[in-house]
């Protein structure tokens, strides 16, 4: 299992469009991916669950990846979130 904390810098947080892009990015990997905000943890491969977290700009999230391709996934997802716009 690998994880990283990330501060959301996207101006609109993870609303529908960037949330859908994150879900799509997570689905590339066979590993399970979860996102935690506060006390709630959800499957990052589900847009509805991810949207339920209400992630806004400056929110701190925890991304946890577990599985066969976790090392590759963790690097990719960290870079993806860092570059996320709009």
Catalytic residue among 6, 15, 20, 62: 15
Diameter of the chain by CA atoms? Answer: 33
Please give the Cα distance from 24 to 18 (Å, whole number): 10
Q: Which of 45, 70, 86 is nearest to 78 (CA)?
A: 70
15 has catalytic annotation: yes
Please identify every residue annotated as catalytic. Answer: 15
């Amino acid at each position: 299992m690998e994880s990283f904390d990330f501060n959301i810098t996207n101006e609109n947080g993870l609303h529908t469009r960037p949330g859908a892009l994150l879900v799509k990015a997570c689905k590339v990997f066979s590993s399970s991916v979860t996102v935690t905000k506060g006390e709630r943890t959800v499957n990052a491969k589900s847009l509805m669950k991810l949207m339920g977290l209400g992630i806004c700009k400056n929110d701190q999230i925890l991304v946890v990846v577990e599985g066969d391709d976790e090392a590759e996934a963790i690097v990719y997802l960290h870079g993806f979130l860092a570059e996320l716009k709009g």
